[in-house]
């Protein structure tokens, strides 16, 4: 009999189990809501990216249903062959107006947008200068491009400058940062990096996945928040988080978008969104434009919850967004914290290496506009109880 060539995977999984890092998937029964049922337990949900509650917003739901009735469930092709529907073009036009750029291309996910774009615009002759905490999809795109990758310490603009000073002036350079960092909730050094990019002639790129729908006027993102219109060549946003549906997009010049239509591999080789997804995203733009008070509620809840965690004495890092980490340090301790919170009715996912540094394991909390004050106060009370029990406060 043949021995299992994948046996080493089971050995690795056993190691995770011994380290207390093995995770079962939590199963959501029903809709993605601020108070809901995971694994048969009613919990306050602090783990979703559904910042504005748009996953279940009536206008998005109705738009998706109508598009399905009128246009079917699938697009039937990749964008570059037969899968560009009028509704895809309408979404791109709406996003370009919303983002105040010449053009937008929509991808199947934020991951595909980042990886596809970085890989398309660079060659092996070029270099990427990247914040050490940038998202995995940026790192994968950089690897696929075969460009040299130079990593600077988190938000260390002086270090990025030293890297740039050592590079030949003629070499093509892409300077890239997340807008909001997904594990720490802090904001990238975007204004200073823009200045640096201009000084050294870099392409400037910002991944605004966690800022889309959260920062800037009507949720236009960090470029709008900082007043940097025209200074960021490639803006990536996601339609999967605050926008409540699924997808990613690149906003920039007409030439950039035309080039990605011809060269971005997820655009060329993977089927486009179902009409329902595009329709829901268009409805989400309407909501962002017409109901900005949802975003105000998100920020009110954010400030309330952050202040509560800080007052209890937790280490919440340097967050400036609705993402607030509660840093435990040790990986197994973070998982224990997450498990105890869950038993007491609060779902905050534990996150350990390799997603974050080995000594910075944490539970990550994300509040939404749709949490009530009672939900958040309940969560704070549970954090207080479990935090004391585990010696974190
Ligand atoms: C979530 C995330 C992505 C990926 O977006 P999806 O639409 O979920 O694929 C990309 N970049 C960052 C910084 C993210 O947090």
Ligand 1 atom nearest to 112, measured from its CA: 9
Task: Check if the beta carbon of residue 138 is closer than 8 Å to that of residue 177.
Answer: no
Q: Say if ligand 1 is within 6 A of residue 210 CB.
A: yes
Mutate to test the pocket of ligand 1, among 112, 115, 130, 135 (most ligand atoms within 8 A of CB): 135
Is the per-residue pLDDT at 202 higher than 90? yes
Question: What dotted CATH number matches 10-55+293-389?
Answer: 3.90.1150.10
Q: Tell me what percent of the residues of the chain surpass a pLDDT of 90.
A: 96
Q: Identify the band that residue 362 occupies on the pLDDT scale cut at 50, 70 and 90.
A: very high
Q: Say if ligand 1 is within 6 A of residue 209 CB.
A: yes
Is the per-residue pLDDT at 8 higher than 80? yes
The mean pLDDT of 11-17, rounded to a whole number, is: 95
Is the per-residue pLDDT at 1 higher than 80? no
Q: Say if ligand 1 is within 6 A of residue 88 CB.
A: no
Asked if the domains at 10-55+293-389 and 59-290 fall in one CATH topology, the answer is: no
Task: Check if the beta carbon of residue 160 is closer than 8 Å to that of residue 129.
Answer: yes
Q: What pLDDT is stored for residue 21 in this prediction?
A: 79
Annotated active-site residue 241? The verdict is: yes
Question: How buried is residue 82: exposed, middle or buried, by Cβ count under 10 Å (0-12/13-18/19+)?
Answer: exposed
Q: Say if ligand 1 is within 6 A of residue 273 CB.
A: no
Residue with the smallest CA separation from ligand 1 atom 14 is 209
Catalytic residue among 75, 109, 182, 321: 182
Ligand 1 atom nearest to 248, measured from its CA: 7
Ligand 1 atom nearest to 49, measured from its CA: 1
Annotated active-site residue 210? The verdict is: yes
Q: In Å, what is the CA distance from 136 to each residue of 14, 140, 207, 274? A: 25, 6, 11, 25
What top-level class would CATH report for the domain 59-290?
alpha beta
Mean residue pLDDT of the chain comes to 97
Residue 319, strand partner residues? none
Q: Say if ligand 1 is within 6 A of residue 212 CB.
A: no
Q: Identify the band that residue 160 occupies on the pLDDT scale cut at 50, 70 and 90.
A: very high
Annotated active-site residue 371? The verdict is: no
Residue with the smallest CA separation from ligand 1 atom 1 is 209
DSSP H helical segments within the chain, as ranges?
Answer: 7-18, 58-71, 86-99, 110-121, 136-145, 157-165, 190-200, 222-225, 254-263, 265-269, 275-290, 293-312, 331-343, 373-389
The domain limits of the chain are 10-55+293-389, 59-290
How far is Cα 99 from Cα 101, in angstroms, rounded to an integer?
A: 6
Query: Which of 86-100, 269-283, 347-361 is least confident?
Result: 347-361
CB neighbours of 192 closer than 8 A, spacing ≥ 6? 157
The mean pLDDT of 82-96, rounded to a whole number, is: 98
Q: In Å, what is the CA distance from 23 to each residue of 11, 312, 353, 365? A: 15, 28, 13, 18
The mean pLDDT of 82-86, rounded to a whole number, is: 98
């Amino acid at each position: 009999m043949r021995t299992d060539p994948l046996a080493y995977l089971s050995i690795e999984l056993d190691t995770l189990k011994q380290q207390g890092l093995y995770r079962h998937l939590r199963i959501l029964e029903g809709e993605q809501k601020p108070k809901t049922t995971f694994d048969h337990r009613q919990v306050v949900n602090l783990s979703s990216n559904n910042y504005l509650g748009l996953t279940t917003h009536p206008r998005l739901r109705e738009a998706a249903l109508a598009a399905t009735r009128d246009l079917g469930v699938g697009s039937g092709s990749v964008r570059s062959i037969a899968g560009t529907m009028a509704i895809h073009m309408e979404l791109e036009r709406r996003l370009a107006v919303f983002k105040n750029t010449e053009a937008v291309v929509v991808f199947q996910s934020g991951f595909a947008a980042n990886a596809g774009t970085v890989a398309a615009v660079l060659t092996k002759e070029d270099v990427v200068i990247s914040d050490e905490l940038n998202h995995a999809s940026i790192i994968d795109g950089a690897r696929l491009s075969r460009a040299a990758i130079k990593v600077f310490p988190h938000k260390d603009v002086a270090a990025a400058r030293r890297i740039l000073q050592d590079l030949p002036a003629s070499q093509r350079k892409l300077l890239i940062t997340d807008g909001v960092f997904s594990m720490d909730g802090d904001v990238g050094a975007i204004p200073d990096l823009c200045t640096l990019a201009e000084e050294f002639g870099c392409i400037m790129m910002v991944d605004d996945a966690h800022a889309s729908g959260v920062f800037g006027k009507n949720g236009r993102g960090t470029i709008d928040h900082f007043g940097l219109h025209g200074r960021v060549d490639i803006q990536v946003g996601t339609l999967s988080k605050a926008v409540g549906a699924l997808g990613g997009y690149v906003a920039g010049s007409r030439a950039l978008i035309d080039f990605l239509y011809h060269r971005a591999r997820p655009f060329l080789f993977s089927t486009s969104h179902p009409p329902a997804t595009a329709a829901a995203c268009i409805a989400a733009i309407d909501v962002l434009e017409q109901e900005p008070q949802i975003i105000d509620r998100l920020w009110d809840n954010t400030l309330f919850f952050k202040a509560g965690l800080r007052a209890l004495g937790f280490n919440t890092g340097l967050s400036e967004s609705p993402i607030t980490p509660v840093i435990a340090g040790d990986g197994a301790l973070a998982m224990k914290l997450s498990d105890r919170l869950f038993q007491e009715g609060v779902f905050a996912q534990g996150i350990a290496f390799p997603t974050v540094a080995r000594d910075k394991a944490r539970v990550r909390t994300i509040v939404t506009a749709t949490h009530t004050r009672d939900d958040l106060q309940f969560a704070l009370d549970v954090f207080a109880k479990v935090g004391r029990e585990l010696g974190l406060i």
